[in-house]
Structure 1
């Protein structure tokens, strides 16, 4: 089976040996290892680090039967910007130009967003009677309307009319839709204007737990030691990994850290990552002894830190898309037995509450966060129970082996469903 995977926002295998591959990267490798031919259409622009991977549009061989088709685009520095929309349009244009030159696939899995690439992929597939699945990950473009001031939302929706139109067309003409949760899948089916079929499925994010080598682990522990974070420390570590942008409410976290700084309980907040809000938050936390910003860290450093941490921080805003989703960050924490600390309501809250591995506070509530942290600090026995629950939940539902083996079988089913 020849499979095309179309995703531009994830790390790719050529980013480095210590790069954490996500949904598409893990699935691509698994498909290839099982004898399928894989072409991953990706971007020259690294969305996370906001830099170009290459100045050329290239086809790169990862392994036998597995290639990256790197689409060149201009890039952007702000996630919400005209430059990003233009970048996405360039991807779709180049895909439409290059795809007909490639051997025809048996099945296509395209991530949505982006809307432009989704429409281009579905248009290509429909014209050649190829089964195509849209994997809906975010509620674009609705989330952009919600970000606008209430008085401007009507205008925002009007400006985004072309994107809404393209989304409806792509969803309604795709062979099937997939997503992480029933709620997001139903959202996509609403735009498709149809009821659920046998091929519409849910697949959560799966996390691949790769233990570092002994050498990598020693280097990672040394890295943290240089940042004043030791394996045998008596501090209570609250950790965060991710893009430091507007989707997270770190203001509340820093305000809580300020209240706790110098107190009898030795909290330490370790906020790892880069992003357009990093400098802002560094200034906000200036002078605090219990907040660290180590910058962007690799998978070995993440693995090591999660094993000495006490809580994994997921400070998402309670927007419609996050409330309907189970983001990949909490799943990463669960893999290490970290209870998840979050203000998020909706699907994630219910999952963590039901499985006894979540610590909750109200969004924007500094006192609520301080109280939750102090209760966790003062009850290590309960924290240990939650840690065990976190591991069990991860192993039952979110291991990469389970999730992506199911997705592989699903794509084989879809490929065979259209004759």
Structure 2
């Protein structure tokens, strides 16, 4: 297994750790190959604290970088790709290579190794690159032209795979179009391990009359919390008491803390939390928010599975039709435009909904039917192992 962006080790609860554990318990000899650099914290990983007894982890050196969109990050990925190629050149060929995309440099090295050694290659598309960068490059037309070679690289990787897994139907459609078929493309949502999730919390804030809102995840380019802050200002002027709990970190954290300085009672920043505390606080809230800027490439993200597992109805501004359809099918929330007025109106409508408990029940039912890793990742392990 090759995954550029994973924490790995005993404290990891991401897709790759979970899948590696399932494969190992099924009798596979699993090696997880990843970077020494932790993208989210922008720090080198503490390798001494990262071993897992079920599988072996190998760390490939990657230089640090400070910002997500930068030349230094591109150079860092290129160096990691070269170092991975060198490591694989001296490694005995396995039966299967399972590789996450992105990054493209790492996936290209994995694809070339698999082709050279006639090894089955399974690619897992976590995000669409370079589409994810097109949103932040100005002007957009120049960004698309500049990123065209990366798009061709991504499509070559998709076509090189014997099988492809993606985290959403939206991504599966994109990959199928690049491959020219959908015979070997499977969707498995990122999901949540409900058995583990249900063991934590809930931790309910002190009851001082606020309706408790939750946001978990990255504080970065694709997510638009400032518009949620503006919605809270509108509600505050109307005398409505809603409080947002922001759990996560990212490049915009300090800026957004300053933006919300006038909302000290309405917005609480927690930074990066241990998984158990994040789940406990999430389960103690009333409503979740999913504010994504228009045009973003995200589809079914990690937070969506956690919101559903917590049984929280969602105010959603994400344009992704796949998620909007899920919310509608399960009666699990309201989709709206990414404006302060629309978000404020949706929050009021949802908080006043007499069927709020039923909406929460629909959200939890979505988790049990679509996002429970205990079920979906067993199927994913079968794809990796080439089972019919």
Of residues 164, 168, 192 in structure 2, which corresponds to 1:177? 164
Instruction: Report the counterpart of residue 236 of structure 2 in structure 1.
Output: 261
For structure 1, list consecutive stretches of 5 or more residues without a partner in the other structure. Answer: none
Instruction: Report the counterpart of residue 120 of structure 2 in structure 1.
Output: 131
Cα RMSD of the aligned pairs, angstroms, is 2.3
Structure 1 stretch displaced more, 335-344 or 171-180? 171-180
Of residues 235, 259, 262 in structure 1, which corresponds to 2:210? 235
TM-fit CA distance, 1:35: 1.5
Query: Counterpart of 2:293 in 1: which secondary structure?
Result: coil
Of residues 281, 288, 310 in structure 2, which corresponds to 1:336? 310
Question: Does 2:366 match 1:413?
Answer: no
Q: Matched residues in 1 for 2:209 and 2:24: separation?
A: 45
Instruction: Report the counterpart of residue 203 of structure 1 in structure 2.
Output: 188
1:276-295 correspondence to structure 2 within 5 Å: 276-288=251-263, 289-295=265-271
Number of equivalenced pairs: 385
Q: Matched residues in 1 for 2:230 and 2:272: separation?
A: 23
Distance 1:59 1:43, change over 3 A: farther
Instruction: Report the counterpart of residue 366 of structure 1 in structure 2.
Output: 340
Q: TM-score, normalised by structure 2?
A: 0.92
Q: TM-score, normalised by structure 1?
A: 0.86
Q: Matched residues in 1 for 2:176 and 2:236: separation?
A: 48
> Does structure 1 retain, via aligned residues, the 8 Å contact 2:222–2:296?
no
TM-fit CA distance, 1:233: 4.9
For structure 2, list consecutive stretches of 5 or more residues without a partner in the other structure. Answer: none
Q: Matched residues in 2 for 1:174 and 1:114: separation?
A: 15
Q: Matched residues in 2 for 1:73 and 1:139: separation?
A: 22
Of residues 247, 254, 271 in structure 2, which corresponds to 1:272? 247
Q: Matched residues in 1 for 2:228 and 2:17: separation?
A: 32
Q: Matched residues in 2 for 1:11 and 1:312: separation?
A: 25
Distance 1:306 1:157, change over 3 A: closer
Q: Matched residues in 2 for 1:132 and 1:167: separation?
A: 15
Question: Does 2:16 match 1:24?
Answer: yes
Distance 1:237 1:162, change over 3 A: same
Of residues 30, 53, 62 in structure 2, which corresponds to 1:63? 53
Query: Counterpart of 2:262 in 1: which secondary structure?
Result: coil
Q: Matched residues in 2 for 1:172 and 1:118: separation?
A: 12
Of residues 19, 26, 38 in structure 1, which corresponds to 2:30? 38
Q: Matched residues in 2 for 1:22 and 1:73: separation?
A: 20
Query: Counterpart of 2:297 in 1: which secondary structure?
Result: helix
Question: Does 2:372 match 1:399?
Answer: yes
Question: Does 2:101 match 1:112?
Answer: yes
Q: Matched residues in 1 for 2:198 and 2:162: separation?
A: 40
